Amino acid sequence: MRKTKTILIFTLIFTLATLGAACGSSSPGGDMKPIQTKKTDDNLTVTLSNDTGKLKNGKQELMLAFTDASGNPAEISAASLNFMMPAMGTMAEMNDPATLTTTGTPGQFKGSVTIEMPGEWQAQITYEGKSGKGKVTFPLTAN
């Protein structure tokens, strides 16, 4: 009788732990807020997100998502994201590439970047979709 009770309690703890882990992993990027959305020439929408919705100076996790004209995930086989700051005075051009990996969702990539300094950056995105290669660029301010 006593043994059964112990096993039941362990089972309950295990179940709760499993549920907790499942909840945590079911939304990779669920806490992400859009920094910028931009339409591409081939009518895709690119959304760049992080946890605050603002590009930050320093290291941060990112989400890059491509959706089609209907708002559904777009089929993107590869994507890259680089942050570029043009040369200013004696300061040379700076490039901070993000590392991107695919997720379980088509057209959705997660990654991280370390922005080296606050100021005006150009987010430079390249991708390969059903209609070939494309690219999109937009300015962002890091604080």
Here the tokens at position 19 are 């549920």
Q: With respect to Cu ion, which residue has the nearer C-beta, 79 or 98?
A: 98
Residue 55 in the binding site for Cu ion (CB under 5 A):
no
Q: Rounded to whole angstroms, how far apart are CA atoms 137 and 139?
A: 7
Report the nearest approach of Cu ion to the CB of residue 32 (Å).
26
Binding segment for Cu ion (CB under 5 A), chosen from 34-42, 46-54, 68-76, 86-94, is: 86-94
Task: Tell me the site size for Cu ion, rule CB under 5 A.
Answer: 2
| CB hemisphere CA count around 42 (13 angstroms) | 17
Residue 94 in the binding site for Cu ion (CB under 5 A):
yes
Q: Rounded to whole angstroms, how far apart are CA atoms 33 and 8?
A: 41
Binding segment for Cu ion (CB under 5 A), chosen from 1-9, 28-36, 77-85, 103-111, is: 77-85
Q: Rounded to whole angstroms, how far apart are CA atoms 56 and 108?
A: 21
Q: What is the CB neighbour count within 10 angstroms for residue 78? A: 12
Q: With respect to Cu ion, which residue has the nearer C-beta, 55 or 85?
A: 85
